[in-house]
Amino acid sequence: MLIKIEDLVLVGFNKQVIALDRYSGNKVWEWKASNGAGFPAILLDGDRVIVSVQGYTYCLEPISGSEVWMNELKGHGTGTANLVSVRGSSSQSSAAEVIAVQQAAAVATSTGVTT
């Protein structure tokens, strides 16, 4: 079964993010920050999940939970960060944008068209 972003619910606690299937509640993937402690702030920003844990900021790929990058943000303190998308869109429209990209990729794959 093909997993889509809109099929996931992201839950964060104890420097972890767990993706659950929104229909069954089954765990799809889990990720744990290598640094920091406590409650993670989570933001879905288009096709990326941004996670902040006590001064460390991580970028995850939302379908697999794999870590794309990490930034310690040295010298800026620790604590729970406020995360805001500079794309200027709500999480609803960000999700819609990602869904549109996924659908276009699926159509291109099924028709043999490369982008």
Output the domain CATH number for residue 31. Answer: 2.40.128.630
In terms of pLDDT, which residue wins out, 54 or 79?
54
Q: Round the average pLDDT of the chain to a whole number and report it.
A: 83
Domain annotation covers residue 57: yes
pTM for the structure as a whole: 0.71
Q: What is the pLDDT of residue 2?
A: 86
Please check whether residue 17 lies inside any domain of the structure: yes
Confirm whether 91 is domain-assigned. Answer: no
d(CA 61, CA 49): 6
User: Does 95 map to a domain?
Assistant: no
34 in a domain, yes or no? yes
Inform me whether the pLDDT recorded for 94 exceeds 90: no
Look at residues 32, 50, 33 and name the one whose alpha carbon lies nearest to residue 41: 50
Distance of CA 20 to the CA centre of its chain: 12
Q: Does residue 40 lie within any of the structural domains? A: yes
Please tell me which residue, 114 or 86, carries the higher pLDDT value.
86
Residue 38 is assigned to a structural domain of this protein:
yes
Residue 81 has pLDDT above 90, yes or no: no
Angstrom CA distances, 46 to 41, 51, 61, 97, 105, stand at: 16, 14, 10, 7, 15
Query: What is the mean predicted confidence (pLDDT) over 98-104?
Result: 67
Confidence of residue 89 (pLDDT cuts 50, 70, 90): very low
Number of structural domains (the chain) is 1
3-state secondary structure of 100: helix
CA dihedral of 34, 88, 10, 20, whole degrees rounded to 10: -130
Does 106 fall in a domain?
no
Range of the domain at 43: 5-80
pLDDT score for 101: 67
Predicted pLDDT of residue 53: 92
Q: Which of 6, 45, 12 is CA-nearest to residue 31?
A: 12
Interval 20-47 mean pLDDT: 93
Higher-scoring residue by pLDDT: 81, 35: 35
